[in-house]
Amino acid sequence: MGLFDFFKKKETAPEAQEALDKGLEKTKDGFFSKITKAVAGKSSVDDEVLDNLEEVLVTSDVGVSTTLKIIKRIEERVAKDKYLNTSELNFILRDEIQLLLSENNSNDFRQFEYGDHKPYVIMVVGVNGVGKTTTIGKLAHKLKESGLKVVLGAADTFRAAAVDQIKLWGERVGVRVVAQAMGSDPASVAFDTLQSAVANGEDVVIIDTAGRLHNKIGLMNELGKIKQVMQKVVPGAPHEILLVLDASTGQNAFEQCKQFTEATDVNALAITKLDGTAKGGVVIGISDQFKIPVKYIGVGEKIGDLQLFDKKEFVNSLFK
């Protein structure tokens, strides 16, 4: 059974949709007030409207590269249809963003099968303060709620607070945590966690890692060592390297994504704190530019407010 099925079984669509709509309120409000100003007094989509729309997308943190792609697509539709009025612009914009996202991420989460790996190992990376530990706790909660046996590895051994936070989440959601003394070798913690997961027949292992970015070579070496050690216990581990990004940091999230994807083989993204920012456009830009599937989004503070990312639902919610 796929992890996707586990999430869907427990979370009814209306509840998830309501949380998504609420979580995107700030982005929607900012986005549409800007679009309204961009088309004020105009009856058709002309060059000035497109210039204004370009500015709206860039200032909504969609990113320059992705914005130019979207504008080019709309220009082609305007040229083809000859006359488009501004009231149609939202529909066209929604369609083009959906098309762009669906073209970019061929690796869709719905096709992901957990059943091929036991334990399934997730290594979580990201800078401090992006909601990494909270995402780990919420993901562990979702998986445990679905009937899976989960264990957490506290391999961010450079901050006492990080180990304590993981332990608190473990207690809160009722999953086992493997930890060592502060300053221990992170790879040693990962090794112990995987060994005990195999011995206990656990289904999913989630490994936290240090959130430092000041030295890319050091980060690369550390993450590489953790991977090598894990592979001694579970060949092919980690199966998922999940990069956590904070939507509220806007363009900074793009830079973090660039740094971490150069340092390690990131194959999944979690974008957090969408409910607290008007910068939800980063989801569109990062998804487009890095061609890495956005798997999870954080749309609220409640324990159940980590959702699987559905491109179509996200864009529809944005344009409601």
Tokens 């956005």 belong to: 294
Residue 129 labelled as part of a binding site:
yes
Residue 132 labelled as part of a binding site:
yes
Residue 274 labelled as part of a binding site:
yes
Sheet arrangement for strand 294-298: 176-178, 150-154, 204-208, 120-125, 240-246, 268-272, 294-298, 306-308
Residue 183 labelled as part of a binding site:
no
3-state SS of 219-242? HHHHHHHHHHHHHHHCCCCCCEEE
Residue 243 labelled as part of a binding site:
no
DSSP-based three-state secondary structure for 124:
strand
Residue 126 labelled as part of a binding site:
yes
In angstroms, the CA 16 to CA 241 distance is 25
Residue 308 labelled as part of a binding site:
no
Residue 162 labelled as part of a binding site:
no
Residue 130 labelled as part of a binding site:
yes
In angstroms, the CA 30 to CA 20 distance is 16
In angstroms, the CA 95 to CA 146 distance is 34
Residue 164 labelled as part of a binding site:
no
Residue 272 labelled as part of a binding site:
yes
In angstroms, the CA 96 to CA 200 distance is 48
Residue 210 labelled as part of a binding site:
yes
Contacts of 124 (CB under 8 A, 6+ apart): 132, 135, 136, 206, 207, 208, 209, 242, 244
In angstroms, the CA 194 to CA 205 distance is 7
Residue 273 labelled as part of a binding site:
yes
Residue 261 labelled as part of a binding site:
no
The dihedral region occupied by 40, where left means phi > 0, alpha psi between -120 and 50, and beta the remainder, is beta
Residue 280 labelled as part of a binding site:
no
Contacts of 40 (CB under 8 A, 6+ apart): none
Annotated binding site for GTP: 126-133, 208-212, 272-275
Annotated binding site: 126-133, 208-212, 272-275
